[in-house]
Chain A
Amino acid sequence: MPYPVFKDNREFIKALEANNDLVTIQQEVDWDLEMGAIVRRVCEKKSASPYFKKIKDYPGFEAFGAPLATYKRLAIAMGMKPDAFVPEISNEYVKRTTGDPIKSILLDKKKAPCKENIWTGKDADLFKLPGPMVHDGDGGRYLATWHFVVSKDLETQAVNWGMYRQMVFDEKTMVGPVLPFSDMGKMFYGKYVPKNKPMPFATVIGCDPLAGVAACAPSPIPEDEFTGMLMGAPVELVKCETCDLEVPAHAEIIIEGEVIPNLLIEEAPFGEYTGYRTSPREPRTVYRIKAITFRNNPILTVSNMGVPTDEGQLLRSFSLGLEMRKLLESQGIPITGVFMLPESTHHMVVVGVKPIYSNIASQIANLVFGSKLSPWFHMVIVVDEETNIYNKDDVIHALATKCHPIRGIRKYEQSVGTPLYPFADPEDRKWSRGAQVLFDCTFPLHWSKSDLPIKVSFNNVYPKEIQEKVLQNWKNYGFKD
């Protein structure tokens, strides 16, 4: 049964408008920094998504900024009520993505809106698309900031959709980091490069919102089928023009080409999800393009990475946390929930647990730090069921009071990291080396009951009848809140 979700970005934009979560900008906006600055301010103020109708130098093109930078927009994208709480959205996501994968279906090219315009040869020129200069000081214009790259495994033919940023170098060339431990990194650097074979790719820009969620989720399920699970219906795909890949038929813009083996070109710097420009300008993966296909009046999606909260931080926190939840539950660990704080730029995850045996926090940390998810975060906070994992004040209180500064902190050295960690030494960034830490905020089990500190809160230290009486009389006492 399909959920009430959107087959493309245009339907999603209309839904945001209906929910007062869209600002349609009729005035001309410059792709050179102005558009980026607007989207940045939107992220920092948690404002409505901007829908740019008129882009300087690019008549006929439109852009849509910060498409999923709030939980409200995520709830709308999932077809839920806009004010759904994070735990509700989380449970729905886990429910939808735990069943059987839903295979995609192939549409005839004539029925695919993304084939309304086709540019090949000299016409396939990246500067004919309104790639924004997102932040002042970036290494180039980033066409692909909220998008995904489709590729196929040389040996298994498994298809990967992943969000890997792409900077325009010249008319035919894009460059970007493909981290060695990512699915596309393993595919390209592990299989195509040793055989010196170019790898066909298709960049999908302006996909439906849930395909974007799937492309940046670290799930082992093929992303097109994962999108189908989130939608409750098969994704409609269409064949590419120049290679044997398939792309979502309702996407706005498709860029087709080949990833070139044994050639690297400098990419970056770029304002990144950590809120800094950290990873170095260095030789990175090269994409040469062959064709561009797009809908009439195509709408480019623009995300602006920086200080919280942008959709990268929000959705990666969301899906990393929930894939961790699935992992821990699959191992029978008695967790009560997992929440990754978007404000931590998905560096810090809070795991709630019933501490029924000793060193359970270490077991949790060992599992999540040992998983495929681990390069992207380095702080695990384990709290007992007394702490509300979704409440930052509660988590800070637990961290500052229950975590022993020596016994409660366990360090993990020589981990896989990313070049994006601002705290890492430049040499460690270069080699994607990291380090991680556990903050165990559970009290040891061997403490006697009478030595156990008791949390002094309204809910915890008053009899039920007193609590009820106070709550019933609150307004009568004269309080307005």
Chain B
Amino acid sequence: MKALSGIDFVAEEGEKVFIAGKTGSGKSTLLRIFNGLIPFFYGGKLKGEVNIFGKSSEDVKKDVFFISQFPDEQILMGRVRDEIVFPLLQRGLDFEEAEKKALKVAKKLGVEDLMEKRTDEISEGQKQMVMLATALASGSRAIVLDEPFAHLHVRRAKTLHELLLKSENTIIASDHRIELSRGFRKVSMTELNREVNQEADQYGEDESEQETEFQVKRKVSKVVEVENLHFSYSHSDQLFSGLSFEVREGMTLAITGDNGVGKTTLLKILAGLLKPDKGRVMVHGKPSLSMQFPNYHFFSRSVADELGNITIFGLEKLAGRHPHSLSAGEAKRVSIAKAFRSDIVLLDEPMCGQDTSFRVQLLNEARRRGRTLILATHDEKLAAMCDEVINLDEICKNCKKGS
């Protein structure tokens, strides 16, 4: 399968480039060419010439720091501090010096309080922050970022955006959120890769899709009841102390808040995967959860088998593909579609890797099918379109005061 064709791309030293493109348009493939992962690690056929800092892309690994979409797989060390320090040690710095540098960057990004934490006990967004700190501290000449903002709270995304613009490094970033491209030179993947993208453009294209008003009869039956919820992970702080809310049938509810505030944890509690320490959680009906990184949560040989008889979100186009061959955004969409088979749909960061038009599609489908939708998101527009919003930042401030 041809992924890219006829690409001409130049970035000057120190330049900040933003690559915008739709789900599955080949962004990740292009970014992997910049540090030689393609073709030297993954193989494949590459025609034409690739020059990075005047060298072949085979030996630029010290110059180019690449961060993929999956922070979990980028983390090599057991502790946050060691992770950020590692590239510096590799370059021959002594530990103290490296630690100082790491702490400085961590402070800029606002993650200094994570330094002592275990890397498998932080939230997905926090993992992304740690990887970004690692890249910025590493002293590489260029940083290549695949959707660096995808899991970050808006405020944190802004901080990072400014840091990237201020840095002396060459920065190449790709994301769906075009609003974060301010100050960057914008490059559209659709134009760059015109020869291949003609087809890929067809689904999820119409940004103009309107939110349809469904005559939802306000149902009164409660589907989810949470009363005086208390929860904490074994050796960390209290996440919830006395959280209460209820969700009625057919309602859409957005859970928002800073990275690490407990959105994912709350969804897992609602799905029955985590048990509350105290309080009552009642869910009337069968919930289905699509997790923040669902790429490995597929069990069939094709997307069609995975989805069964539900047709939704224009996924018919992918029916014959193996679920593990999908791009991150496509896999996310399939996982969301799967969750729609249940009455209570729980989604963790559904906008991740999706085009902006997906907001409307998502809510339309939920309302048309009469699903109860509970989602955790950093996307303020999506949250605003939901019937109700729970902002955990505010609630947790209050309940900490109360306790």
Do A and B pair up? The answer is: no
Q: Which residues of A contact B (CB under 8 A)?
A: none
